[in-house]
Structure 1
Amino acid sequence: MSFAVQYLCNGLIRRSIELRALYCHAATQVSEPGLRTVLDEEAQSLTLVIAELQAQIRSHEGTPATRRRVLGVVRYGFDTLVPHSDDAWIRLLARHEQNLLRSFERVIARVGAGDMSAELHRQLPRLHSIDLDMHSLAKAVGVGH
Structure 2
Amino acid sequence: MSTYIVPSTCNALIRRSIDLRRLYRRAAMGCEPGLRMVLHENMQTLDLLIADLQAQLRAHDGKPSEHGTWRGAVRRHLASWLVHAASSRDSAWIRALAHQESALLHAFEQAIADAPAESALALRRQLPRLRGIHLDMHSLAGTAHH
* TM above 0.5: yes
Identity of aligned residues (%): 50
Equivalent residue, structure 1, for 2:44: 44
For 1:54-88, what per-residue CA distance to the aligned partner results, in whole angstroms no more than 9, with x for missing partners?
Answer: 00011122111100112222222222234151000
Equivalent residue, structure 2, for 1:105: 109
**How far apart are residue 141 of structure 1 and its match?**
1.6
Equivalent residue, structure 2, for 1:141: 144
TM-score, with normalisation over the residues of structure 2? 0.89
For 1:70-125, what per-residue CA distance to the aligned partner results, in whole angstroms no more than 9, with x for missing partners?
Answer: 222222222223415100000000000000000000001111111x3222111000
How does 1:1-145 map onto structure 2 within 5 Å?
Answer: 5-30=6-31, 32-82=32-82, 83=84, 84=86, 85-114=89-118, 116-142=119-145
Contact 2:79/2:93 (<8 A) preserved: no
Spell out structure 1 runs of 4+ moving beyond 3 A: none
TM-score, with normalisation over the residues of structure 1? 0.90
Q: Which runs of 5+ in 1 are unaligned?
A: none
Supply the distance in 1 between the matched residues of 2:52 and 2:132 (Cα, whole angstroms).
Answer: 17
Contact 2:19/2:72 (<8 A) preserved: yes
Q: Which amino acid aligns with 2:95?
A: R
Computed over aligned residues only, the root mean square deviation of the Cα atoms, in angstroms, reads 1.5
Q: Which runs of 5+ in 2 are unaligned?
A: none
